Amino acid sequence: MKMKVTVLNGSPLLDKGNTSVILSPFLDGLKECEAEIETFYTAKLNIHHCTGCFTCWIKTPGRCVFRDDMDMVLESIKKADLLVLAAPVYVDGFPGTLKNVLDRSIPLALPFFEVMDGHCRHPLRNEVKGNGKMVLVSNCGYWEMDNFDPMVEHTKAICKNIHREFVGKLLRPHGPALRAMLEKGFPVQDVIEAAREAGKAVCRLGYIPKELEERVSRPLLPKDKYVEITNRYFEERIREASGEA
């Protein structure tokens, strides 16, 4: 049976964003196992925020009071063998539109608590696929890898709560540099190739090997150089915008 993949892409720049520079080859790699991939751009969806009324747990079990695009997202997540969270780091976490989707996913769980490995969580409803997997794909503006720490911890916590196995992460620090260097012909194709290999690895092995994660995250240029180029870029854009050529 084909692997069903649901992708939640939180970049407001959609497939023109820096997130997609890594996400696209990863999904190309996944196509090796003829995965059925459904992508949702959370910035384009019409999804009301969760109001915390718990109607989906009590009065209409499994069904939210709002009829909006979340209905189709939930149908997809319910069946997904693999859930891919793809997003730029925004203020050390997920962009609001993606977090909104995550908040609205509570109809998938039952209200009751169970204790698993000494920790409370909610059982999933019967119609929701259990034992699925999850991958995180992200990029950020700062140079250092530790800018992903909150997002990685968050993703691992989500996995425990929604009964999914965290099978790997593709993290691209100084993400804007990758796109710029690709466009200028710098030798950075190995990073794209590693992302593609990571997709194939999920098909063949069921997880992303550490070595591929490291190749996707490798430093592209020294930190001081990146800071200098970034600052110059913004100084020039500000000067242009103010009419000073």
Closest contact distance (angstroms) between CB of 132 and ligand FMN is: 25
Which pair of tokens denotes residue 120?
A: 């409370």
In the bound state with ligand FMN, the residue whose beta carbon lies nearer, of 140 and 158, is 140
Q: For ligand FMN, how many residues bind (rule: CB under 6 A)?
A: 17
Looking at the DSSP bridge assignments, the partners of residue 164 are 132
d(CA 97, CA 27): 21
In the bound state with ligand FMN, the residue whose beta carbon lies nearer, of 74 and 171, is 171
Packing angle between helix 189-204 and helix 18-30, nearest 10 degrees?
A: 40
Per-residue contact string for residues 115-144; x = within reach of ligand FMN by CB under 6 A = ------------------------xxxx--
Exactly one of 4, 17, 170, 216 binds ligand FMN (CB under 6 A); that residue is 17
Exactly one of 2, 13, 54, 228 binds ligand FMN (CB under 6 A); that residue is 13
d(CA 145, CA 192): 18
Exactly one of 90, 158, 197, 198 binds ligand FMN (CB under 6 A); that residue is 90
| Identity of the residue numbered 170 | L
Q: Name which of residues 157 to 176 contact ligand FMN (CB under 6 A).
A: 175-176
Chain centre to alpha carbon of residue 164: 14
Residues with Cβ within 8 Å of 139's Cβ and at least 6 positions away in sequence, in order, are 18, 19, 21, 22, 88, 89, 171, 172, 173, 175, 178
Site residues for ligand FMN per CB under 6 A: 11, 13, 17-19, 88-92, 139-142, 147, 175-176
